[in-house]
A and B are shown apart, each in its own frame.
Chain A
């Protein structure tokens, strides 16, 4: 459990808090990552397209982190959680904090993550938790588009030129070892699964693998071989990339706490 969290392990809502942080941090960090493309994308149309994806994700993070803060009842709102936590207190999976690399690597990350999130949100609409059910109902449509767009690009790059195919394969290779973490069931997951708050991710792992498999087949790409999985993001053990991302993201509100616009 989050040692830095003021919520004790005996509090029945600490698992819910932790779960909301996971979903919120995934969206926040991936949104921040994708927004790094703003002004740098290969063409204007893709620049806008990526900015839209980033904004969707940051919007989801806003809802989830505000709800986490409200449930925690320790005076932290979404902004406080986003901008005033240190790297060890972040609960996002390792996949979303991976660097953008080239456009193909960004697309690989987006395909692998948003396909998972889409399958999850479809099931979360049935959550016993009213907030999460309503949240999922709204977010599932946004993420369906993300998944679709990432699949379209994967197919075009994979089945494009020799160079685009190679880059797409390299992007997938980079991201592949972070997939198993998405299906990990630890203490927090066990608790929210038992309470009907969240589905067991293992229940849709097969759907996930076959969905990714068919996109890759259409893209004429090999499914990368399973590597030694890298875990730990959900417990705050992050790669060095997250610290750099947070430094940039948190600099302004930490330096000027009263800044407003």
Chain B
């Protein structure tokens, strides 16, 4: 039965102000029940205050074959990291 149902990716916001994070997926026949299944599967222990579900088939993923050209060039660009500044002690949360 669940193999007939589409897959949904589940995102949970753990508390106000934080971003939704991907936590896993559920099978469900439609969006409302996907939310219910996500609630019952991923927020049973007070993990969240908000849920998103997205049809997995709507996610556009990068091709693992292209990982080399997409990601490796960034490896040699350490100057892109903002580590060359002195941060005053008074500045918090950086």
Contacts and interface: CB of A to CB of B under 8 A. Distances in A.
Contacts of A52: 40, 44
A44 B28 CA distance: 11
A149 B5 CA distance: 18
A149 B33 CA distance: 8
A45 B35 CA distance: 11
Contacts of A45: 2, 26-28, 37, 40-41
Contact of A44 (B2, B29, B30, B33): B2
Interface residues of B, number: 15
Given A152-B32, A152-B33, A156-B29, A49 B40 contact: yes
B28 to A, nearest CB: 7
A252 interface: no
Q: State which size class the interface on A falls in.
A: 10 to 19
Nearest to B2: A43
B40 A48 contact: yes
Interface in A51-69: 52
Interface string B1-28: 1100100000000000000000000111
B49 interface: no
A52 B28 CA distance: 17
Interface string B35-48: 01100110010000
B2 A49 contact: no
A6 interface: no
A45 B8 CA distance: 12
Contacts of B37: 45-46, 48-49
A42 interface: yes
A201 B1 CA distance: 40
B40 A156 contact: no
A100 B36 CA distance: 21
Interface of B: 1-2, 5, 26-30, 32-33, 36-37, 40-41, 44
13 contacts: A43-B5, A43-B27, A44-B27, A45-B26, A45-B37, A45-B41, A48-B37, A49-B37, A49-B40, A149-B36, A152-B36, A156-B30, A156-B33
